[in-house]
Amino acid sequence: MTSELDIFVGNTTLIDEDVYRLWLDGYSVTDAVALRVRSGILEQTGATAAVLQSDTMDHYRTFHMLERLLHAPPKLLHQLIFQIPPSRQALLIERYYAFDEAFVREVLGKKLSKGTKKDLDDISTKTGITLKSCRRQFDNFKRVFKVVEEMRGSLVDNIQQHFLLSDRLARDYAAIVFFANNRFETGKKKLQYLSFGDFAFCAELMIQNWTLGAVGEAPTVPDSQMDDMDMDLDKEFLQDLKELKVLVADKDLLDLHKSLVCTALRGKLGVFSEMEANFKNLSRGLVNVAAKLTHNKDVRDLFVDLVEKFVEPCRSDHWPLSDVRFFLNQYSASVHSLDGFRHQTLWDRYMGTLRGCLLRLYHD
């Protein structure tokens, strides 16, 4: 008598999200097992410590083999060795390239070089993030930078295309790449209150309006300059910003600008008297920041200057955020009523971005 058996053989690669997180966080197998035991998994599953050890080691081996594919995510999609559903592939990629806020704040704006990598021991100690995780995150930043630095077109699109990241994570990486390329200072003590999200918001505005790839600028860009359109600031635009200095150098224009702003805001601003008394200093600060952006050092110190020249003076006079918004809107718009001023388009391109950044930097 014969018996018939139905047999199903599958080779889908199993991914335990919790173990993957422990691996990404840089824990050794021993530490990962201890943390899993502490979570109560043995009681929940009825498994033995030996089985848990073996299971953890098996997952770690899988992750190590997958890592080379994660360095170039499209390879993960097209390989045939690991049978992983598309939703799981997306999860593996997204979490591999995710980063810790505390870590990115320590390296944001620094050159992604061996010199910075040597500081990872100190960053690990300061942030409490394992050294292995710091290295993974740093290497991810550097890898993305190297892949996209010579590419034409949208920085965000290039990152999404080559690393298959979500829109939000791709935008974050675009900010990291943009800051690393332009070496913006973010580590000074007076900037420590700002989050990565604050800087990323400003980066997106600058990429959209101040780079070679900004809307309306591409047709005039020579082919030789096309490679870094979203990474490099438009040097011609920065040079032209010197023309704005007339707003504070010409006494009549400065007085008229002040008069227009004060007339529009009288009775609408809680700090009107403070604004009126400090208008010329604030205006000189904002315009002089623009005029200095032809020098690399002043570009790097952009956020330091904005905090020193605008945020701190307004804070010291206790401006609420709503008054800062009213002032910046009117300050920007009233320039269009200055008959003697002939750089309206340049002003709008500068102040449109600066206004957005200042409102983000101002925490009342």
Residues in the chain: 364
Residue 217 has phi, psi (to 5 degrees) of -100, -25
Distance separating alpha carbons of residues 56 and 30, to the nearest angstrom:
9
Q: Which residue matches tokens 């011609």?
A: 236
Query: Which residues of the chain carry a pLDDT beneath 50?
Result: 8-9, 216-221, 224-225, 227
* CB contact at 8 A, 307 and 190: yes
Name the nearest CA neighbour of 244 among 214, 284, 212. 284
Amino acid, res. 132: K
What is the pLDDT at residue 364? Answer: 59
Distance separating alpha carbons of residues 206 and 357, to the nearest angstrom:
9
What is the pLDDT at residue 159? Answer: 97
Distance separating alpha carbons of residues 229 and 280, to the nearest angstrom:
35
* CB contact at 8 A, 229 and 174: no
What is the pLDDT at residue 71? Answer: 97
Angle value at C-alpha 214, between 209 and 215, nearest 5 degrees = 105
Which class for 325: exposed (0-12), middle (13-18), buried (19 or more C-beta within 10 A)? middle
Rounded percentage of the chain residues whose pLDDT exceeds 90? 82
Estimate to the nearest angstrom the gap between the alpha carbon of 339 and the chain centroid.
39
Distance separating alpha carbons of residues 163 and 282, to the nearest angstrom:
43
Report how far apart, in Å, the C-alpha atoms of 51 and of each of 17, 23, 33, 56, 344 are.
18, 18, 10, 9, 71
The dihedral sign for the CA sequence 348, 350, 351, 357 = positive
Tokens of 130: 């394992």
pTM for this predicted structure: 0.90
What is the pLDDT at residue 217? Answer: 45
